[in-house]
Chain A
Amino acid sequence: MEETFVEFKNITKTFPGIIANDNISLKIKKGEIFALLGENGAGKSTLMSILFGLYEPDEGEIYINGKEVSITSPLKANKLNIGMVHQHFKLISNQTVAENIILGQEPIKMKWGFLPQVDIEKANKEVEELSKRYNLEVNPTAIIKDLTVSVRQRVEILKMLYRNAELLIFDEPTSILAPQEITSLLEIIKGLRAKGKTIILISHKLDEIKKVADRCAILTKGKLIGEVLDVKTTSIKEMAGLMVGGEVSFVNKKEVIKQGKVVLEVDNLTVENKNHLKVVNNVSFKLHEGEILSIAGVAGNGQTEVADAILNLIPITMGIIKFKGEDISKLSIRERIEKGISYIPEDRQNVGLLMDFPLSDNLVLKNYYKEPYCNKKGILNYSEFKKNGEKLIKNYDIRTSRGNDTIVRSMSGGNQQKAIVAREISMEADLVIFVQPTRGLDIGAEKSIHDRIFDLRKKGKAILLISLELDEVMELADTILVLYNGKIQQNKSADQFTKNEVGEYMMGVHNND
């Protein structure tokens, strides 16, 4: 039990301008659940990517079972029995479960004695046996795109087990799951440990780590903080304190605020996707000044589409969107922005930012065409770009290596999000839409964004919050609207809900269809 499986020795990895891992030494024992905690940009994912062969360290060595190894590719990692369950699944959506699992290591049979062919029946059988052995229920012949997120995750785990992985790395596995699914995933992880597998869990959700992990290490700014902790004898508060350096108060006190006029009114909104399926089905709601309305739901149940439709990023099939009493359904995106709608998108890197542009350009992305950034002849005034950049960098504590000129790609995820939030809030819009604003962020950054949201609420702005994190919804929302399959399941004041009830609505337990 006490045998060391993986040892990192003095691992250092730098990217231009950033030290992602600074002299990290760690020992991971065979058969334990080892948690890696840390803020965003702390270097957790980099360290694991080194172990999985996606990056090579600049300095330092990795030992597996006491032998020095150089892992140059994921293929090599597979040969060393290391498997990774990525945050974003790497599955082929129009193939079956079994086909995905065997991909690259297909069992071969010879047709007519000489023609090599994939033995799909054998594969199905093997996958079924494997899933029984580890209590991971899947149907080998189901098509991936018909499966829910949690089942897909199981397929990812099986993929690793099929390759005889002894060490499984889970990269933020619970960030996309509903509460009930999280509980079952944690059971699965425990079950894997019982079968003798070693597990590394990357997470920043302290309660989950407390529930399953044996030991945990904390990374901050690429460095290991203190000793490796025994999870059983450390409190959540202590861990959080180490993570952000200082005690964190968990409870945000919600002030009582009188709600004002209706800002946003959505009537019978229906949105169809490319296959003419209704992803948003007849949704209506009202949002008032000083109100935080949160749309809860399991990923892919139409929440993001509601937000996209309000800004006109996707066309609507039916329904009316009214902003301050005025029908805006026919207006262009820019006209809606000018009316006073800010939007913090879910996909910050592909939608919210221009990754290869300097920060100052990104901070005026929605204002660049107006005075003082651009005069009437269409000539840009870059010194105003810089002024605005300096102001926002200071006010919103965006940390960069080169200020205004920093290329956004080189910034950490948390600071990228801060940049978007800075830009959107500084536009002083009356309606601010947040889609997954704290996804993948650490406690410190999360808190600062929550504070901003409360601040906006105090100023009497209307806030539409779309989040998959139930805790966040419960903490922030005044009103909770639960979507399942594009339909409203329930819409009422947050204090009339318990967390479990919301979870049940999210899973469609009370669905009447």
Chain B
Amino acid sequence: MKNIVAIPQLDPVPMRQWLLLGFGLLIASSYLFPVYWMVVSSLKTASEVNAATPTMFPHEPTLNAFRWIFERENIGRYLANSFLISGGSTALTLLLATGAAYALSRVRSIWMDAVLVGVMLSQVLPPPLLVTPMFVIFRQLDLVNTYTAVILATTSKTLPFAVIMLRTTFAQIPIEIEEAARVDGSSRLMAFLRVTLPLARVGYIVVGSLVFLQAYGEFVYPVSLMNKQSMQPATVGLYGFVGADYSDWGNAMAFATVMVLPVLIIFVALQKRIVSGLTSGALK
């Protein structure tokens, strides 16, 4: 019997490509070494962390540092505050950005162009330079030491970014789809809610997560606009740990590890979409 079924022979990956992969793995793992070092340090005993000769793996892995930060450092309260501030900022940002981004994607006029340039310019003003007037203004409004002040200040940082990114998302949805729904008798609101918004779902997930992460990492506004420790988010909590000259590094790294966990979860879940969202939206 002759074998008539030809087995498709895949081209073997050439040697050169294996070498490229090997070196690429080396680049990525040395780049990510600080993340590894953070996690490993959090799992060591206090004496191993402070040993003069660092160990690459924990010899006696322990969760003592984590127990310490939950029981003594109240990391739970810091995280709850972080989620409250970043959740509030994300909701406010998306609420405001939706209308502006949609209008900017559907109407072309000199006014809309002017607004877009204004939004792009306001995106670049860094919090450390804006915090002095913000503090004085919120002080006069008696809003210092409130979550409201921090949420409003943080939203001023995330809103321009969200408008620009969501505008790109809406621009990719053909206007014809909306018009078809309108011909069928939908009002503009219904066409937007039933047709456009579901199509923009992925864009909202990406922009929403990036806005959330930016707000989650914000430090300057909470530390300057609130002085009650019980209200502070995790960034300020971590600063309390490492800002001093002497630091308790095992516990500090446990704090940092727990704090990074939500970031890593969002990153793993959305990595591909964030990469493509950034490359299509950030420079356009």
Partners in one complex: no
Question: A residues engaging B (CB < 8 A)?
Answer: none
Question: B residues engaging A (CB < 8 A)?
Answer: none
